Structure 1
Amino acid sequence: MPDVVVPDGYSSRAATDADVPAIHSLVTATERALHGEAETGIDAIKAVLSRPGFDAAVDSVVVHDAAGQLAAWAWLNRGKRAQIDVSPDHRGLGIGSALLDWAEARAIEAGTTDWIAQMVDDQDLAGVELVRARGYDVLAVNWQLELPMDSEPVVPALPDGITVRSFEPGDAARTHLLIEDAFDEWQPRRKSFEEWSAMLIERSSFAPSFSPLAFAGDEVVGAVLCLDLPDSDEGYVEQLAVRRDHRGKGLARTLLAIARQSFYHQGKRNLTLWTHSDTGALAMYERLGMSVRRSTTIYRGGPFTA
């Protein structure tokens, strides 16, 4: 793993499972500093470190101050996608720049020389300035959308021939296929079943009873997969997909309404989800009454030379 040239008084090493609680505290502190609230669950951090194809011993870094407190962390997945989080108490000291140096060097070490992607919250002005100064350009934008539930959602009628029930364990393989086939239209790489499962349905916050699937006969043709995040008063949609030959019939609207109704009965009064600019789905969600709450930008840097 490449060295991390951290400022004096700081130390770095690879992340381990024992670091998960401290990393979670750091990430949520960053979210509160930027937005006044935290949304990342601890199981999301666990999923990053345990995802298939990811080796925390070489693909992650944690940075501690002289007192042993976690100041920052970073990871690089498959030599392509980087993420860096610096505690609000340790910004402006060059730690973010050092971790970006590490991510670029690790990408080269992993065989990537063309480009890597780094996601930066649009409210993180220092982070935006850093990647812009490095020559990174915009690759894509993610929007977080919300839909308040002031009253119980009304579920529209299902299209003819369609039935709906909640996700069950035996649905995993065919739901994965539906999701990946739909996401192939915009994502650069299919996730294996093992990776998809680790990043979603094996998480402790995955809520199968709040995740409706649509069937045409025995075939899964639509899915809304939800998380029930602890200590949150909001429902969260992690993935939504409708098979191409069943689009334009109102199925996404109906599945979202079913998920919203389930969360409403649990006492949630807001539904949130993220959408990616390459999906072209923003306008659809806005037609469903959702509005943008915040955004992140994925920046692309490279090419790199050893």
Structure 2
Amino acid sequence: MEFRERAAGAGDAEAIYEVIAAAEVGWHGRAEVGVDRVAADLRRPLIDLEADTLVVEAPGGEVAGWAWNHGGKRAQVDVHPVYRGLGLGTRLLDWAEARSRAVGSEWIAQTVDDADEDGTAMLKARGYDVLAVNWLLERPLTTEHRETPAGIRLAGYDSERAEQAHQVVEDAFAEFGSRRKSFDEWAELTIARASFEPEASTLAYDGDVLVGVVIALDGDEGYVEQLAVGGDHRNRGIARAMLDRTAAEFHRRGRDNLILWTHSGTGALAMYEHLGLHVRRSTTVHRLML
């Protein structure tokens, strides 16, 4: 079977989504990825599509697999289940590692679904080690909205506070080692997405100071893309209050579940479990020193 290779284009979002969604359905019985997430990845300000992406097309022209490399540090490789076992995963992984070496990176990391036993085994065989674990958490939605902490005011997203929201999120995530994103990159991955829900998103204020942010996206389930509380305002119940408000908004829209991802590096799993969320599934970040 002959395959053709090329760089990805902005118009490939739907076809790439189908590759990722087919894998998720096979592993979990449902697809949680969104087309707009793929489109946002293709629009990342720091990605040069010609140099940093590779699409593999099957003889009929359909996308059989793809990979991207972001700044030499992070990569993603996806192969449609129909085309597994043909060496495409190895080819795409070879390309991703070579791209990282070409830009002088000391390491490359990628996230693999823990249900992907073959992908995990491939990375281990190539010398990757475990860097971190991500958990997808869920909780049933209700209109319950417990008392807001004293002195805190909650409201929906305000576009005039966009740069402040970006700052709160980046400051909070940077404490746990996350790479800081520019406003443009952050916006592409959050508020510029077609699924962004301004009313279901929640901002928390102490007086006129923005101290907490929930960025919400809509789909088959209510999805929290980001949750952050400023360091000086933690342990006051602000995260719980923001989640309650966002959950109530999604419930009014007819959604049954609230979902969000958390990362082992944040130490937030216990907090979320205390707030009534439980683990649905997990992924692992694997890293190779080059």
Q: Which interval holds the TM-score relative to the shorter structure?
A: over 0.9
1:153 aligns with 2:137: no
Cα distance per residue 1:169-224 (max 9 Å; x no partner) = 11100000000000011134101111101111100101011011000111110111
> Does the CA-based 8 Å contact 2:149-2:241 persist in structure 1?
no
Cα distance per residue 1:240-277 (max 9 Å; x no partner) = 01111111111111110000000111111111000000
1:134 aligns with 2:160: no
Runs in 1 of length 4+ with deviation above 4 angstroms? none
In structure 1, what is the equivalent of residue 108 of structure 2? 116
CA distance in 2 between counterparts of 1:204 and 1:65 reads 29
> Does the CA-based 8 Å contact 2:154-2:205 persist in structure 1?
yes
In structure 1, what is the equivalent of residue 189 of structure 2? 199
- Aligned residue for 2:56, secondary structure, equals strand
CA distance in 2 between counterparts of 1:18 and 1:49 reads 9
Amino acid paired to 1:37: R
User: Which structure 2 residues correspond to residues 234-249 of structure 1 after superposition, within 5 A?
Assistant: 234-249=221-236
CA distance in 2 between counterparts of 1:262 and 1:189 reads 31
- 1:18 is displaced (CA, Å) by 2.0
In structure 2, what is the equivalent of residue 5 of structure 1? none
Given the two structures, how large is their TM-score scaled by the length of structure 2? 0.98
1:36 aligns with 2:23: no
Q: 196-205 or 156-165: which moved more?
A: 156-165
- 1:78 is displaced (CA, Å) by 0.7
Equivalent residues, number: 290
1:292 aligns with 2:279: yes
- Aligned residue for 1:159, secondary structure, equals coil
- 1:27 is displaced (CA, Å) by 1.2
Amino acid paired to 1:96: G
Percent identity of equivalent pairs: 50
- Report the RMSD for the aligned CA atoms in angstroms: 0.9
User: Which of these residues, 154, 168, 171, is aligned with residue 181 of structure 1?
Assistant: 171
Amino acid paired to 1:250: G
User: Which structure 2 residues correspond to residues 1-306 of structure 1 after superposition, within 5 A?
Assistant: 9-112=2-105, 114-149=106-141, 152-229=142-219, 232=220, 234-303=221-290
**Unpaired runs of at least 5, structure 1:** 1-7
**Unpaired runs of at least 5, structure 2:** none
CA distance in 2 between counterparts of 1:302 and 1:249 reads 40
- Aligned residue for 1:51, secondary structure, equals coil
Cα distance per residue 1:90-149 (max 9 Å; x no partner) = 00111101111000100111121x210011000000100100000100000000000012
CA distance in 2 between counterparts of 1:24 and 1:100 reads 19
CA distance in 2 between counterparts of 1:48 and 1:130 reads 24
Cα distance per residue 1:1-36 (max 9 Å; x no partner) = xxxxxxx51111100112121111111111111111
Cα distance per residue 1:45-100 (max 9 Å; x no partner) = 11111111111111001101112121000000011100000000000111101111
